[in-house]
Every structure is written in structure tokens, then in C-alpha cells.
Amino acid sequence: MLITYIGHSTVLIQTKDSNLLVDPFISGNSLAKTTIHDLPKIDAILLTHGHGDHTLDVQSIAERDGSLIVAVAELATYFSWKGLKTHGMSIGGSYQFPFGRVKLTQAFHGSSVTESDTRQIIYTGMPAGLLLYLEGKTIYHAGDTALFSDMKLIGGQNNIDLAFLPIGDNFTMGPDEALIAAEWINAVKVVPIHYNTFPVIRQDAAKFADKLSGSGIVLDPGQTLKL
């Protein structure tokens, strides 16, 4: 399995048979080295919440590739009304897809789509984290979240091989809280996400990773690791 960090919170996961994309924010990310046109055909788009820095490129990719969009029910409904294929879920639920099992965990954040032209904010359900069970491996993408104590349960109930944790602060937990989250989750490898894209979330990812006693890995945008 190949895992490519596209940038911000966007992750490309390539299994033997499927290409999965988490939270596509590519065309609006000046730090991204990958363009939408560089992506392989995406079989499924997995979303943690509705904010634009996680969903900006959903429609263009899904229309191009016929991708299935997996998200919290309200967000899935929003994209289904745009004529896209969706599968709605809720927090705590899981589903076995052809590419693997997906479970939604809680996350403490917001979730909405902002329609700038009409100055409307559309509620898109609760934010979520993602537990992905793929080819015998377990991946945890925390989405945008504060630190919360049930991360101990997530770590206790799962043998997590790879975790993606936000460290940007301001909108999510910062590096200090993410260190606690990493301890509770107890993943074999931890990759920081959601930092440096905007000035207000600028962080030293290498410093964060160095404090994780060997489990921390900094992936530059476009960099791939094999899991």
C-alpha cells in the first residue's frame, strides 16, 4: 500500500485494487506539488467534514472519475444533490466497502459549506475522523479536531499502523495537544497534517516529529511512504 501526502489534510491511499483520496484540497493549496490532473483515477473520496479546505476539489474529481463519496450523512446528501455518487454514514458506524472497511469516529470541530455568493453557511453534519481498515493495516485520519479523551479508546480498541494528526493550532489542536493524542492513539507511525498552509497555522513539523521517539514522520507535500 502506498500513502502519499498531497498537503494540508489531503492524503492519497493506493491499495492493490483501489485509489482512495481523503479530504481533497489541492487546487487551493499553494504548497501542494500535485495537481488534480496528476492524480490517478480515484475510486472513492473519503471526507471528514464539509469545510472548503477539505472539500474544494471533491466535485471536479468525482465528476471526472465517477468516484464514490463517503461522508457523514448530511455532507453525503449535500453532494448527492449535485448529482454525485455518495454513501452516507454516521459517527460510530462502519461499513465494508469493496476496497476495505471504513469507520467514522468523533471529532471536535465544525462542519459546514460556505456559499460566499449568497453569504450562507450550510450545516453539513458532525465532523468526523476516519478509521480505515485496508489490506490488513489500520489507518487513522483524525480530520480537524481538538484533543479529546476518547482518543484513548480509539487507540485501545485498534492497533493503528499509521495516524494522521492535525498540529496547526488555531482551528485544531496544536503540537502539544497532538503529542498527547499520539501517546493515547499509540500508532506505529504518526504523520502531522493541517499545518503551514496558511500563516495562522504555521508550525515546526520536524520539531513535533522529533518528540515522538521514532514514531513521528514528516512527509513533504507529494512524498510517499509504503505501508
The model's pLDDT over 132-180, given as tens digits with 9 standing for 90+, comes to 999 999 999 999 999 999 999 999 999 999 999 999 999 999 999 999 9
Q: For the whole prediction, is pTM greater than 0.95?
A: yes
CA–CA gap between residue 89 and residue 201 (Å, rounded): 30
User: Would you say residue 34 has pLDDT above 90?
Assistant: yes
How many Cα atoms occupy the beta-carbon half-sphere of 3 within 13 Å? 26
pLDDT value of position 213: 87
Using CA atoms, how far apart are residues 79 and 77, in angstroms rounded to an integer?
5
In the block, residue with C-alpha cell 499502523: 161
Beta strands in the chain (DSSP E): 2-7, 10-14, 19-22, 44-46, 68-72, 86-89, 94-97, 100-106, 112-115, 120-123, 128-134, 137-141, 162-166, 189-193, 223-226
How does residue 56 score in pLDDT terms, banded at 50, 70 and 90? Answer: very high
Place of cell 469493496: 98
Topology of domain 2-222 in CATH is Metallo-beta-lactamase; Chain A (3.60.15)
Residue 142: name the closest of 104, 91, 96, 180 by CA. 104
